[in-house]
Amino acid sequence: MSGPEPVPPSAGAGPAGLVEHFFRHETGRLHGALVRLLGVHNLALAEDIAQEALLRALRTWSMGGVPANPSAWITAVAMNLARDALRHQRMSAAKEPAVAAHLEPAFATPAVALDNAHRIRDDTLRLLFVCCHPSIAPDAQVILALKVLGGFSTAEIAQAFLSSEAAIEKQLTRTKQRIRDAGIGFDMPEGEDLAPRLDGVLAALYLLFNEGYKASSGDRLLREDLCQEAVRLMSLLVKHPVGRTPRSHALLALMLLTAARFPSRLDEHGVLLRLDDQDRSKWDQSLIERGLSHLAEAAQGNELSEYHLQAGIAAIHCTAPDYASTDWARILRHYDELNRIKPSPVVALNRAVAVAHLHGPQAGLQAVAAIPQRERLESHYLLYAVIGELHWQLRDHRAAAESFRRALGLARVGPEQLYLTRMLDQAEQIAS
């Protein structure tokens, strides 16, 4: 997780696969450079330019082949488009040197490009703080950051917020208008202006990691590139004076402890593995040690955040020698406290799983039935997957099959669909 940047897929992946890859890796970087050049008041223009550059890549690469340096190609196209936009808007000619300065790195030698890449990554963190401007509502800060930095689709953001795409689009529109009206600049906030933005930055990085940990759609459950980027930015953040806080260390601990279990989440056929079926010898012990170290840093002082509690739960799982040794009573206490300070239907659903482990599947079903605002989970496959699992444990295979069927209809990720299909087949065979 702390190693080099993810290696791009080979050209054999095809132009479409490469463009999808660079959409994930390059969008935040391009937005950072474009917004710095054009200004935050031109955020929509920066987004349009980045998307147009990627669309041109798809068209051009499909006909003429993939260039030797796809990243440099996309950067050059985006900056040319930005130059045209600046001319069209009759901006000051003083901006032209800035455009040239951005274009030069695209054709630099590898050594220079590596140095510039480091600078660009700092731009990403800087833009993240800009997105979390205190004049923007907290949820809107995170939504804007995910859209601009992560290249997230509206559907992915809606899934993260248990909301509708229409509601997210409306909020994005209002946020961009607010940015224009407030005249928010791209200057990196300094000193006392940084601290009020930290919570939004942490929330955005948390959701960025979550999307990588469990993708909301597609063939892959894991998007390790997103997780790596979240860990990289968090690692930078905890070294900065404003980010060197207990909750920042707690969030980094959560990411590391969660990432340590990645190698065992899928079987050799790509099917999702439950925690009790995972081979713990495959867990990355170095990441666990780093995570526990940051969790110890997070324990300094009296602060207790949602990240502390979630990292604590992850640590309980990571330090249990086997599944049977898991301290579910302690996990339940963590969820009780988490539900108190940061209540949500998802937290309540996870709490119900812990209840079932301690008090049996029927108690778990009762806890699910009692979830406040449960209707917000109705479009989430996990609700019915949990219900199906609890009915399975009660040997009510007909009810289990019905729940697995509903879950399968909502699942959007390949490995989850494979797992639910397997469970549904087993339940239907026994029920019949």
Q: Tens digit of pLDDT for each residue in 52-80?
A: 888 888 888 888 788 878 777 888 888 88
Segment 247-259 shows an average pLDDT of: 96
Return the ∠ at Cα 212 (arms to 210 and 218), rounded to 5°. Answer: 115
pLDDT of residue 16: 66
Between CA 197 and CA 194 the distance in angstroms is 6
Segment 127-151 shows an average pLDDT of: 79
Segment 297-326 shows an average pLDDT of: 94
Whether residue 228 has pLDDT greater than 90:
no
The alpha carbon of residue 57 and the mean position of all alpha carbons in its chain are separated, in whole angstroms, by 25
- Domain extent listing, the chain: 1-107, 321-377, 380-432
pLDDT of residue 285: 96
pLDDT of residue 159: 80
Query: How many CB atoms neighbour CB 48 within 10 A?
Result: 14
Whether residue 214 has pLDDT greater than 80:
no
The alpha carbon of residue 29 and the mean position of all alpha carbons in its chain are separated, in whole angstroms, by 16
Segment 158-169 shows an average pLDDT of: 84
Between CA 268 and CA 179 the distance in angstroms is 48
pLDDT of residue 120: 27
Q: Which residues of 64-98 are buried (b: 16+ CB within 10 A; e: fewer)?
A: eebeeebbebbbbbbbbbbbebbeeeeeeeebeeb
The pTM for the full model equals 0.77
Whether residue 27 has pLDDT greater than 90:
no
